[in-house]
Structure 1
């Protein structure tokens, strides 16, 4: 796929690509044909793009009772709510209402990117991301992922690093 740095490449221009371009962050664009009946958007992306699911991360919003926050975990796992609460320094969190997540981020569920949201939210990136040179996250639309280094992802989202994923039950 084409590496982008302020240039139009494969795939759409979204708030996520614009934010990365403004920040001067290198990334790759990975569009794919989205199947609306897919059970898991993230696992669909990994399969469609021929990627190891351990390198594809999903963006999940949680409600801290004081506002929303973001957890970024591998698509093959789940978000550990206690661990993300600890990482955020709050007593507990619950999964955010999907409508509230869409309203807050400006993206639709299944296409919520951790980058380029309407307003920055506290963000936690699972530590397993750092085992990979490149990780893939939603590019801001269903059927469109971005590949970038975990360090650049953390910088672009001001994420803290913590062990917030657990195996799928």
Structure 2
């Protein structure tokens, strides 16, 4: 399995410390994030999934814990918009340059505004997709937020 994804290369170029972890990816599970957390033996709250959405026709990247659900209402409010909806799979793959199940917020082909769930601040390191199915990176939340010019926000369902 190749470990040289665009996400890893971008973080390397920026001098941001991160680890790389491979696991056996399965498309047949309901929650790929929870399956990845189990495969690596980490708490689901530390495994973050990358979701692509639209807020008032503007692309937004939401990064939330794998054991949480995105609140579209809260996402719209945090972005100063009125309406949010999930992006279609084909469009998410086109915009990000990654396949669903392997979408990383790092080094997307068409960057967009990124919001992290506020829970990211509870951890010293989190796991996020590295841009390939079955490949994760671990990174300090402060480094991820700074690199992506992202903000922590209340975007998960209660």
Fold shared by both chains (TM-score > 0.5): yes
In 1, Cα distance between the equivalents of 2:97 and 2:2?
Answer: 19
Partner of 2:143: 152
In 1, Cα distance between the equivalents of 2:109 and 2:67?
Answer: 27
SS at structure 1 position matched to 2:157: strand
Equivalent residues of 2:76, 2:83 under 8 A apart? yes
How many matched pairs? 158
> What are the within-5 Å matches in structure 2 for residues 1-169 of structure 1?
12-166=3-157
TM-score (norm 1): 0.89
RMSD (CA atoms): 1.3
In 2, Cα distance between the equivalents of 1:131 and 1:12?
Answer: 28
Spell out, residue by residue over 1:102-157, the C-alpha distance to the aligned partner (whole angstroms, 9 max, x if none): 00000011100011101220010011010000011001011111000111111121
Spell out, residue by residue over 1:57-87, the C-alpha distance to the aligned partner (whole angstroms, 9 max, x if none): 0000111233211111100110011111111
In 2, Cα distance between the equivalents of 1:83 and 1:70?
Answer: 14
In 2, Cα distance between the equivalents of 1:41 and 1:154?
Answer: 23
TM-score (norm 2): 0.95
